[in-house]
Amino acid sequence: MLHTIALIVTQTAVLLAFSPFLIGLIRKVKARLQLRRGASVLQPYADLAKLFHKQPVISTTTSWIFTATPYIVFASILTAGLLVPTFISQIPMHFAGNIIALVYLLALGTFFLILAGLDAGSAFGGMGSSREAIVASLTEPAMMLAIFAIALTNGSTNVSTIVHKTALLEGIITDPSPHLMALAALFIVALAETGRVPVDNPATHLELTMIHEAMVLEYSGRYLALLEWAAGLKLAVFLSLIVNVFAPWGIATTVTPTAIGIGLLVYVVKTAALAVLIGVIECMFAKLRLFRVTDLLGVAFILALLGLLFFYILRS
């Protein structure tokens, strides 16, 4: 019992402490590639501290949904993060680590964020909510199919079981085509769900391009801090899912101090490397036009579906 509690507390602390660093690292990479010095990678921590000390301003037209949404979004994404292995394959909450639960915990936060954008009554909020609903309806099926393509290989839809068996090289098929297609699909989904280029640009406030930023435009103070932190957590969850489902090398498969220490170090290196790749991609590509975003998400869905079909073809 003590080991279980310690692992839950450690994984929670790792996600909470590491997620702002990933945001700062992406910004630093983009600044360096644009020949700018850029802010420190620790700047997101200072931004969160500043926002938590500010008094929030709330419109008189809003309801309880507006004030409750930051807490619901933060709690749902953090809970989803506890269902994804980070530095150890057999997570304490593996009994609830089904991919369906993971997807709908993430969808719960998105649902309330859409409601909050509408609740403020602003034109920008309604526009962002409608766009987010379109993106979410296309990303969730692609995410499910991408994970199912790997789940069939391991005979389980439990994320912890998938990672544990893959780390032990159990249930691996010789042809990597299904895994590569599922990986490409999940990476596109991660960019869309976390509001990164080319789907969205978190650094802009132009009304013609905003999606996520339009929904949180009315927030300030501690509410905005929770939403910004939740956005970083969501990025950490998706990066953890990608690096540990498709490349779980180095992750701890036993509960020993040495294995956990190595697993934690490897996890930090792998997720940081993927964050650097995202920063490079954001400098190489421009944001897509809104009507082109559906085409990109359609490609992710088709790749995930092909990965699923290829698994059955190769098995037969």
Task: Give the list of residues 6+ apart from residue 260 with CB closer than 8 angstroms, or none.
Answer: 87, 88, 252
3-class secondary structure, 67: helix
Task: Please report the pLDDT score of residue 260 as a whole number.
Answer: 93
Q: Running DSSP on this structure, what letter comes out for residue 61?
A: T
Tokens representing 185?
């699909």
- Measured CA to CA, the distance from residue 186 to residue 301 in angstroms comes to 9
Task: Please report the pLDDT score of residue 97 as a whole number.
Answer: 65
Task: Give the list of residues 6+ apart from residue 78 with CB closer than 8 angstroms, or none.
Answer: 12, 15, 16, 230, 233
Confidence of residue 43 (pLDDT cuts 50, 70, 90): very high
Confidence of residue 174 (pLDDT cuts 50, 70, 90): low
Quick: pLDDT tens for 187-238.
999 999 999 989 988 877 666 677 888 899 899 999 999 999 999 999 999 9
Higher pLDDT, 302 or 175: 302
Which of 188, 181, 183 shows the shortest CA–CA distance to 307? 181
pLDDT at 145 over 80: yes
Least confident interval from 46-55, 209-218, 281-290: 209-218
Distance of CA 214 to the CA centre of its chain: 19
| pTM tops 0.85, yes or no | yes
Quick: pLDDT tens for 89-119.
988 777 766 888 899 999 999 999 999 999 9
Q: What is the 3-state secondary structure (H, E, C) of 239-306?
A: HHHHHHHHCCCCCECCCCHHHHHHHHHHHHHHHHHHHHHHHHHHHHCCCCCHHHHHHHHHHHHHHHHH
pLDDT at 2 over 70: yes
The predicted model gives 108-133 an average pLDDT of: 92
Confidence of residue 172 (pLDDT cuts 50, 70, 90): low
pLDDT at 29 over 90: yes
Which of 188, 228, 211, 191 shows the shortest CA–CA distance to 77? 228
- In the chain, the N- to C-terminal Cα span, in Å, equals 44
Express as a percent the part of the chain with pLDDT over 70. 95
Task: Give the list of residues 6+ apart from residue 110 with CB closer than 8 angstroms, or none.
Answer: 132, 136
Task: Please report the pLDDT score of residue 203 as a whole number.
Answer: 79
Confidence of residue 76 (pLDDT cuts 50, 70, 90): very high
Mean pLDDT of the chain, nearest integer: 90
Q: Running DSSP on this structure, what letter comes out for residue 34?
A: T
Quick: pLDDT tens for 158-167.
888 889 888 8
